[in-house]
Amino acid sequence: MDGHEEERLCGKWRVACGLYSYNLRDVFTWRLLKTIVMGQVLSLLICGTAVSCQYLADAGVETPMLQSFLNYALLLLVYTTILSARKGERNILQILKTKWWKYLVMGLADVEANYAVVKAYQFTTLTSIQLLDCFVIPVLMVLSWFFLKTRYRLVHFVAVMVCLFGVGAMVGADILAGRNQGSTSDVVLGDGLVLLSAVLYAVSNVCQEYTVKNLSRVEFLGMMGLFGTLISGVQLAVLETRAVAAIKWDFHIAMLFALYVLCMYGLYSFMPVVVRMTSATAVNLSLLTADLFSLFCGLFLFHYTFSTLYIISFVVITLGFVMFNAVPTYSALPENVEGKCVNSSDI
């Protein structure tokens, strides 16, 4: 009994998770802090894309496929070129011979996910999009369970619920502030597009996690650049020819396009690094704060109304993200049938 009391006084609190216990000093490490910071960097990059899109929309420019095409083209220029310079089995030709259809599916899912969520703004409200977009997280967990063999503990499900509660607080603040932008011309279609984009994002993210943990980040980005450019280029020619021709180019518009493309390029380049350290599910939890960063920018740039609920939402989402990453998930791969649990970040 005295030993347990001494352990408590020394601050060695234990967190029970399934059949395992973790020392809090071992859980709250510099690695966790680095993960949190890197996740918020990704959110800031998304915020940059949102702000630039808002300014472009205010200028009468609505060309989501052109913006996506420029991002994929930049990935192609950098990472696909690197793959082309490699020799042996890691060369782009060898990769295409054996796995071209897999990367085609991945690229198609990513391109259409981006397009579907932008298109949804024409039919439904911002509130619906913010809520339904969270559907990507349970879909990711299900796909990770079956395809990546990731296994979750009770604390992970609780952490997801905490994050979603934070999103609810953010949406509530939007409603109270009267910031319910978007359209209601066809809510069912709009909501369906958001759910479709969430499923497609989940497919793309699972492909990303598998590739960066088992193959390489450069291969993932090179293939994404190649197939993303081809697919978005075809859609651009079919859907946005007139919209692109109608753009009145000037320095201001060009800088907004540049800001958007650079932020997207940074997001795509940096996200695999964080995914490799954690998981696609954890990264998407951290990205829930992106809307909040956009709101904070909107307070100064677009004169949004401030609400204390925004701060509460940010704290709650961050708390849920910390909870999710504080305890490692584990893998149920065949080679671990002896009962040894493997941290999924090491796979």
Identify the sign of the CA torsion 128, 130, 135, 138.
negative
Mean pLDDT of the chain: 82
Please give the share of the chain, as a percent, with pLDDT higher than 70.
82
Dump strand ranges (E) for 261-331. Answer: 330-331
At 24, the pLDDT band (50, 70, 90 cuts) reads: low
**80: pLDDT strictly greater than 60:** yes
| Consecutive H or E run containing 87 | none
In sequence order, what are the beta bridge partners of 343? 330
pLDDT tens readout for residues 173-226? 777 766 655 556 677 888 888 899 999 999 999 999 999 999 999 999 999 999
Angstrom CA distances, 330 to 38, 75, 333, stand at 22, 32, 9
Can you tell me the distance from the alpha carbon of 276 to that of 83, in angstroms, rounded to the nearest whole number? 20
Q: Name which residue leads in pLDDT, 75 or 49.
A: 75
Q: Which two tokens stand for residue 35?
A: 């993960």
Residue with tokens 């709101």: 295
> How far lies 82's CA from each of 49, 129, 221, 265, 270, in Å?
26, 37, 10, 16, 17
Quick: pLDDT tens for 249-280: 999 999 999 999 999 999 999 999 999 988 99
What is the number of residues in the chain?
347
Cα separation, 282 vs 141, in Å, equals 10
User: Which whole number is the average pLDDT over 320-340?
Assistant: 69
DSSP state of 182: B
* 279-309 confidence digits (pLDDT tens): 999 999 988 888 778 777 777 776 667 778 8
